[in-house]
């Protein structure tokens, strides 16, 4: 056990480059599969005689997408802003609210059941209403992203702050610690791992919310772009948009994972050891 842990701390201290190489070595099977998938796609088009207006080749998606890269990048930026704003506002409001609900039996009896039932509502169903109330601008998209991100964050925050072990609760009481001290020294750090479960789930939802909001009513953004080019029989450009949306989602999720690693390194390493 002691040996395994000293190995681990040695690997943590290794340089980024060697870590990258080791990561590559570990994921070669995945990379091979990934390359194989796109190669198959590229040549299956000819093999089965699929016309380009139905399904374009990956190489065509790249070259045609590259030709329209200015518009694509600008729209990626638009969708990124909508996603990020809605996401951050959701976290800023949902975490304190989750904390309040976890500690207030009154809120747990009132707002909490309301949230649980709203969780069952597909939030995206509100999208047309917000567009009709607030128009084509940024605000209705941010609100829709906010809605799809808010619930996973608030429900996980309630769980996070409400599930401190009985032993730790007793330990805190036995020390006579003030509520503030107990919060910052024990309750908050103990709640962070579960909070991050919500943050990651919401990060996945954010770009989905932004895209659908743009489908419904918008004059810019990747969702808008995909809808327009599909209408113009340009699936190659639609795929280019989908590719950028994927990258955007990955970037957001990756950023949250990095923050998690930075904020609760003890949790990550604990998970690795099991």
Partner 1 sequence: MMAAAIEIRSATKTYATGAEAIHAFGPSSLKVEPGEFISLVGPSGCGKSTLMLMIAGLLDCTSGEIDVGGHVVKAPETSIGIMFQDNTLVPWRTVRGNIELQIELRGLPVADYRSTVDRLINSVKLGDFAERYPYELSGGMQQRAAFCQTLVHRPGVLLLDEPLGKLDAMTREAIRRDLQTLWLADRPTVIFVTHSIEEAIQLSTRVCVISPRPGKIEKVIDIDLPWPRDLSIKRGEKFSAYASEIEEIFHGYGVL
176 vs 231 by CB, closer to partner 1: 176
Residue-by-residue DSSP string for 244-260 = HHHHHHHHHHHHHHHHH
Cα–Cα separations (whole angstroms), residue 66 to 5, 54, 70, 76, 228: 47, 20, 8, 14, 17
**CA–CA separation, 97 and 158 (whole Å):** 8
Does residue 1 interact with partner 1 by CB under 8 A? yes
Nearer to partner 1, 107 or 177 (CB): 177
**Is residue 175 near partner 1 by the rule CB under 8 A?**
yes
* Torsion 38-69-142-99 (CA) sign: positive
Cβ distance to partner 1 smaller for residue 97 or 172: 172
Please identify, among the stretches 52-60, 178-186, 221-229, 230-238, the one whose residues bind partner 1 according to the rule CB under 8 A: 178-186
3 lies in the binding site for partner 1 (CB under 8 A): no
Residues 99-118 within binding reach of partner 1 (CB under 8 A)? none
Q: Assign 3-class secondary structure to 153-171.
A: HHHHHHHHHHCCCHHHHHH
Binding segment (CB under 8 A) for partner 1, from list 20-28, 80-88, 112-120, 182-190: 182-190
Q: Which of 58, 128, 162, 189 binds partner 1 (CB under 8 A)?
A: 189
Residue 80: CB minimum distance to partner 1, A = 32
Tokens of 138: 């940024």
Tell me the site size for partner 1, rule CB under 8 A. 27
Which structure tokens are listed for 105? Answer: 């039996």
């Amino acid at each position: 056990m002691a040996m395994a842990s000293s190995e681990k701390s040695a690997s943590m201290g290794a340089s980024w480059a060697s870590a990258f190489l080791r990561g590559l070595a570990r994921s070669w099977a995945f990379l091979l599969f990934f390359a194989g998938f796109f190669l198959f796609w590229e040549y299956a088009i000819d093999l089965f005689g699929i016309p380009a207006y139905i399904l374009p080749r990956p190489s065509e998606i790249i070259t045609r997408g590259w030709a329209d890269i200015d518009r694509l990048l600008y729209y990626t930026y638009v969708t990124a802003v909508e996603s990020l704003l809605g996401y951050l506002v959701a976290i800023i409001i949902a975490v304190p609210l989750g904390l309040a609900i976890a500690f207030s039996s009154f809120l747990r009896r009132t707002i909490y059941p309301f949230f649980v039932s709203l969780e069952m509502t597909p939030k995206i169903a509100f999208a047309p209403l917000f567009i009709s109330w607030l128009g084509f601008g940024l605000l209705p998209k941010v609100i829709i992203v906010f809605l799809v991100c808010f619930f996973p964050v608030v429900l996980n925050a309630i769980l996070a702050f409400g599930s401190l072990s009985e032993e730790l609760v007793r330990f805190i009481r036995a020390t006579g610690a003030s509520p503030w001290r107990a919060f910052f020294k024990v309750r908050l750090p103990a709640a962070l791992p579960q909070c991050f479960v919500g943050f990651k789930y919401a990060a996945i939802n954010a770009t989905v919310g932004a895209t659908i909001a743009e489908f419904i009513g918008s004059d810019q953004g990747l969702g808008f772009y995909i809808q327009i080019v599909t209408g113009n029989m340009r699936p190659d450009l639609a795929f280019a948009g989908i590719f950028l949306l994927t990258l955007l989602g990955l970037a957001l999720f990756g950023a949250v994972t990095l923050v998690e690693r930075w904020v609760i390194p003890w949790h990550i390493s604990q998970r690795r050891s099991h």
